[in-house]
Structure 1
Amino acid sequence: MNIKATIERVPGGMMIVPLLLGAIIHTLFPDAADTFGSFTGALLTGALPILAVFYVCMGATIDFRATPYILKKGGALLATKVGIAALTGVIAARFLGDGMISGGLFAGLSVLAIVAAMNDTNGGLYMALMGQFGKKEDVGAYSIMSLESGPFFTMVTLGVAGLAAFPWQTLVGAILPLVVGMILGNLDKDLRDFLGKAVPVMVPFFSFALGAGLDLNNVWKAGLLGVLLGVAVVLITGTALWTVDRLTGGNGVAGLAAASTAGNAAGVPAAVAAANSVYAPVAPAATALVASSVIVTAILVPIVTAWWAKRVGAGR
């Protein structure tokens, strides 16, 4: 049976399919975690511990000895992606505060959902696209861009917007697993290879646990809004990233390839809510919206990137 291949045919499948499976189980059997307890209960409710391990492993893949080009390209794209998410979050905060819209087409929309969707690039998608349409240095730029991963920049953005005060210990705690991974990976290449292999393996597990906290009776409401959020991510961040890529000597392809939402971004709302309970009521809806954005951007970004690459004669 080609289970893995079948799942991967779905855009963001290794994140989306387990998340939906967890959501179906929770919707049909809401007391499953309490009923079975033990390891089964831990798997259904253990998103945060799994995410912590995930960030350590991802951090191990980041090389401190990146070339100047990688630093320049990756730094420019990282600063732009995070900066645009922060600017959009600050503007949205004027209208939404720390809550969410409760009715109408935009029901469930929150600053948390917007920032989480825009902050983090789908690394696998970016590297695959740049492997086809860019050069190896552009692929390597993701080693810098991967610093987006996790809830740290989202927490900083919410703090800048005046929506939440996160103690410095919480901010440090959010990025510490990633930093520990970076240190370990740079001290020992074998350890980097060892931990790096676990990154894709962890995605379906934390996605399943996140899904097990969702009720599909509410998730379906995020459908159209999730599509709109995904389109907005591509349009807003894509325009900014394309511009910066061109200004830094690129042809715009790398910028467009980075205009997506990472699968692990679906874990950010839960992590933020764990750090500040103010966001607990909006986290489930935000998770559903970000998950929808993952799918939409995974479809749109390759189309837009391939179209532009053809126009500028990039790729092979």
Structure 2
Amino acid sequence: MKIKASIEKIPGGMMIVPLLIGAIINTAFPTISTYFGSFTGALMTGSLPMLAVFYVCMGSTIDFKATPYIVKKGGTLLITKIGIAMLVGFIAGKFLGNGMIDNGFFAGLSVLAIVAAMNDTNGGLYMALMGQFGRKEDVGAYSIMSLESGPFLTMITLGAAGLAAFPWQTLVGAILPLVVGMILGNLDKELREFLSKGVPVLVPFFAFALGAGLNLGNVWKAGALGVLLGVAVVIITGLALMGTDRLTGGNGVAGLAAATTAGNAAGVPAAVAAANAIYVPLVPSATALVASSVIVTAILTPIVTAWWAKRLEARSK
């Protein structure tokens, strides 16, 4: 049976499929983690420790000696993505503050959900799209963009929008695993090779754990709003990223390919709430909305990117 190949036919499948399996199990059997306990319970509730290990492994892939092109391309996309999330978060914060909308079509929407969905790019999907439609150097740009990973920049964005303050220890703790990985990977190439292998391996495991913290009833509630958030991520960040990509010598393909929500972003609301309890009530709805955005952007972004790449190809003939 070609299970892996079948899963990988789905955009972002190694993240999405385990996440959905975990969510289905938790929805059908909400007490299963405590019923079995031990390693099974740890697997279903240990997303944060697994994400910490993931960030160490991810950090090891970032080379301090990256070429100027990679730095320019990755840095431009990184700053644009964060800047747009910060701007949208600032505007939304004027209306929503630290809370969320309680009723109506937009019930459950919060600045936390918006920022978490916009801040982080689906790296696997970006690199896959660049491998097909972009240049080899564009693939390497994600080594810079991967600094988006984790709750650190979401905390910075929320702080910059004047919505919450986080102790410096918490901010450092959020980025420390990534930094440790960067240092280790640059000090020892063999260690980089060793740790980098853990990046794809860990994805389905923390995805399953994240899914096991979701109730599909909440995702169902996210419904059209979750779809709308995903579409907004593609349109708003996509247009901005496409523009800055072209301004820096690109053709816009890399910018569009980065207009996604990373799978691990579904864990950001919980991580942010662990650092500031004011966000605890928002976690279920924010997680559901971000999870919806992950799925929507994983489907929509490849379609948009492929369309633009083919349009450019047709123009060049």
Report the TM-score range of the alignment, normalised by the length of the smaller protein: over 0.9
The answer to which of 44-53 and 94-103 deviates more is 94-103
What percentage of aligned pairs have identical amino acids? 81
Instruction: Tell me the residue number matched to 2:240.
Output: 240
Contact 2:45 2:212 in 1 (8 A): yes
Scaled by the length of structure 2, what TM-score is found? 0.96
Equivalent residue, structure 2, for 1:301: 301
Shift of 1:131: 1.5
Structure 1 stretches of 4+ with a deviation exceeding 6 A read: none
Shift of 1:210: 1.5
Give the aligned partner of residue 82 of structure 2: 82
- 1:189-232 deviation digits (Å, cap 9, x = unpaired): 11111111111111111121122222222221112111111110
In the alignment, what sits opposite 2:275?
275
Corresponding residue pairs, total:
316
Pairwise CA distance, 1:100: 1.4
C-alpha displacement of 1:72: 0.8
C-alpha change, 1:11 and 1:131, in structure 2 (3 Å) is: closer
C-alpha distance in 1 between matches for 2:206 and 2:224 = 25
Deviates more, 1:166-175 or 1:121-130: 121-130
Separation in structure 2 between the aligned mates of residue 212 and residue 243 of structure 1, nearest angstrom: 38
Task: Write out aligned runs for 1:167-178 (5 A).
Answer: 167-178=167-178
2:62–2:182 Cα contact (<8 Å) kept = yes
Report the counterpart of residue 183 of structure 1 in structure 2.
183
Task: State the partner residue of 1:49.
Answer: 49
Tell me if structure 1 keeps the 8 A contact 2:234–2:301: yes
Q: C-alpha offsets along residues 4-55 of structure 1, whole Å, 9 cap, x if unaligned? A: 2222233322222222222222222222222222111111111111110010
Structure 2 counterpart of 1:166: 166
The residue aligned with 2:288 is: 288
Q: Which amino acid is the alignment partner of residue 247 of structure 2?
A: L
Q: Report the RMSD for the aligned CA atoms in angstroms.
A: 1.6
Shift in Å, 1:181: 0.3
Aligned to 2:8: 8
2-structure distance, mates of 1:126, 1:213: 26
Instruction: Read off the aligned partner of 1:138 and give its amino acid letter.
Output: D
Cα distance in 2 for partners of 1:200, 1:206 equals: 11
Letter in 1 for 2:259: A
**Cα displacement string for residues 89-130 of structure 1 (whole angstroms, at most 9, x for unaligned residues):** 111111111111122221211111111111111111111111
- The within-5 A match list for 1:1-316 is 1-313=1-313
Task: Report the more deviating stretch, 26-35 or 115-124.
Answer: 26-35
2:12/2:124 contact within 8 Å kept: no
Runs of 5+ in structure 2 lacking a partner?
none
Structure-1 separation of matches of 2:173 and 2:3:
36
Query: What one-letter code is carried by the residue in structure 1 that aligns with 2:76?
Result: A
TM-score of the two chains, using structure 1 as the length reference? 0.96
Q: Which moved more, 1:34-43 or 1:224-233?
A: 34-43
User: Greater shift after overlay, 63-72 or 210-219?
Assistant: 210-219
Distance, in Å, in 1 between the alignment partners of 2:12 and 2:124 is 10
